[in-house]
Amino acid sequence: MSSSTNSTTHHTSTIGAIGAPSRRNTELALLVFAVVIPVFAYANVGLAINNTVPPGLLSYGLGLGLLAGVGHLVVRKFAPYADPLLLPLATLLNGLGLVVIWRLDQSKLLQHIHQAGTAAPRQLLYTALGIGLFVVVLIFLKDHRALQRYTYISMVGALILLLLPLVPGLGADLTYGAKIWISVAGFSIQPGEFAKIVLAIFFAGYLMVKRDALALASRRFMGLYLPRGRDLGPILVVWAISILILVFETDLGTSLLFFGMFVIMLYVATERTSWIVFGLLMSAAGAVGVASFEPHVQTRVQAWLDPMNEYLLSRAGVKDGVVHSEQLQQALWAFGSGGTLGSGLGQGHSDLIRFAANSDFVLATFGEELGLAGLMAILLVYGLIVERGVRTALAARDPFGKLLAVGLSGAFALQVFVVAGGVMGLIPLTGMTMPFLAYGGSSVIANWVLIGILLRISDTARRPAPSPAPNPDAEMTQVVRP
């Protein structure tokens, strides 16, 4: 463990001596594409729907370009050695998300349902807020290790965030779906999105301190290292919290996300495969246990197994205590109808999904209008973000940074998997949103903060160490060694 850290340090300092390229110009070139592609997509939607280039094209292009430019300049100034891919990839997804949200705003059907078609300007505002927070993170978080100081405050903060939706009067009481929203001053906020980051900070700080105890004080049994009873404590607590989330907020996705993130970080901290085995067993037991008595979760599982039946129940207006939704079947039809190349932006009918077409189900619009080809590209962009995050963890020189980076990237990957898998019918559907693509302020703001933290860690990791002071003993030392 400590040896690998040393070797990394040694390795990087050697490169540092000859000057590491900052890659900021690469980032700028990629950012140009990340802004131009959504602008073309926007023009495409306007031409397809109204036969004209949309009047807001220039301001949209300038707005997105300005936001990306500010982001870039701040990175150039405050995190010059940061990863060059993360900012362009996030900008690209955010830009395309805006285009598709605007495209769904144009749907007469959705306008009829929501009585308004103004999601896109709001999302642009959220994006600006998100990039604002991204800038704040980069300017004020000079070193990610500062976060380590807030380990236990983070724990409390995360618990509060997670419990907020259950507070009477604050939690948005939605009869459908999961209770993961709160409403404050007319805005719906999903505290879980922020809790994700805060929890990652807590786990990283906690595990960095406890990892030796967790890894070493264990007995070997059937090829697995069994942890001591008292070391089992933390994982049991997190497991219990996840189960509680599942029971009270009826949200399988958030529950799975937090528990999965914890297991990933625990595994990285201890290098013990046994934690993964325990984690899988416990999450399976928890999910099955809760599903056996929670009707909302059962409905989700049934909808996953037989979406057509749910569609028919929903169409027939069956009232049996649970809400039947045709959304999943509609989403599957949207994907299938897109085929290989898609219908073209603005020419699909994914508005048939109706409710949440631009948030939880936004991926279906991408699937239908950009086709298999476009959706694979989108998924690969997500894959790239995750792998750059993990790369940052590999390059990080301190265990806290490593844990935080791998935790955030792992959570991001799990979220993408849980949401996309749910919408595509691979796993039961949960109430989370695709990072950056989906409509929703909490999601877009929290994910920009996440990218900001990853950039900060990668900057620290790639920044050349100050060149070592000339050591007059160096040559002598070598001579002495046999």
β-bridge pairing 182-184 and 187-189:
antiparallel
Residue of 73, 394, 468, 474 interacting with another protein (CB under 8 A): 394
DSSP line for 112-172: HHHS---HHHHHHHHHHHHHHHHHHHHHH-S-GGGGGGGHHHHHHHHHHHHHGGGSTTTB-
Please, are residues 182 and 163 in contact by the beta-carbon 8 Å criterion?
Answer: no
> Mask 160-199, x = binds another protein (CB under 8 A)?
----------------------------------------
Instruction: Find, among 241, 225, 219, 208, the residue nearest to 278 by Cα.
Output: 225
Q: Helix 327-338 to helix 362-395 angle, to the nearest 10 degrees?
A: 80
Asked whether position 335 contacts another protein by CB under 8 A, the answer is yes
Minimum CB–partner distance for residue 367 and another protein (Å): 6
**Contacting another protein within 342-371 (CB under 8 A):** 349, 352, 367, 371
Asked whether position 420 contacts another protein by CB under 8 A, the answer is yes
Asked whether position 410 contacts another protein by CB under 8 A, the answer is yes
Opening angle at CA 19, ends 15 and 20, nearest 5: 70
Opening angle at CA 334, ends 249 and 46, nearest 5: 105
Residue of 62, 184, 240, 426 interacting with another protein (CB under 8 A): 426
Instruction: Please work out the total of residues on this chain that contact another protein, with binding judged by CB under 8 A.
Output: 55
Please, are residues 418 and 256 in contact by the beta-carbon 8 Å criterion?
Answer: yes
Taking the C-alpha atoms of residue 442 and residue 193, their distance in angstroms, rounded to an integer, is 6
Minimum CB–partner distance for residue 31 and another protein (Å): 23
Minimum CB–partner distance for residue 418 and another protein (Å): 9
Return the number of the residue (45 or 161) whose C-beta is nearest another protein: 45
Helix (H, G, I), strand (E, B) or coil at 52: coil
Taking the C-alpha atoms of residue 226 and residue 215, their distance in angstroms, rounded to an integer, is 10
Give the other-Cβ count within 10 Å of 318's Cβ.
Answer: 11
**DSSP bridge partners of 220:** 225
Minimum CB–partner distance for residue 22 and another protein (Å): 24
Q: For residue 352, give the DSSP letter.
A: G
Report the chain's terminal Cα–Cα distance, integer Å.
Answer: 27
Minimum CB–partner distance for residue 405 and another protein (Å): 9
**DSSP bridge partners of 405:** none
Asked whether position 428 contacts another protein by CB under 8 A, the answer is no
Asked whether position 156 contacts another protein by CB under 8 A, the answer is no
Please, are residues 374 and 451 in contact by the beta-carbon 8 Å criterion?
Answer: no
Residue of 406, 408, 446, 450 interacting with another protein (CB under 8 A): 406
Return the number of the residue (289 or 336) whose C-beta is nearest another protein: 336
Residue of 84, 97, 177, 338 interacting with another protein (CB under 8 A): 338
> Mask 1-30, x = binds another protein (CB under 8 A)?
x--xx--x----------------------
> Mask 262-281, x = binds another protein (CB under 8 A)?
--x--xxx-x----------
Binding site for another protein (CB under 8 A): 1, 4-5, 8, 108-109, 111-112, 264, 267-269, 271, 308, 311, 329, 332-333, 335-340, 349, 352, 367, 371-372, 375-376, 379-380, 382-383, 386-387, 390-391, 393-394, 399, 402, 406, 409-410, 413-414, 416-417, 420-421, 424-426
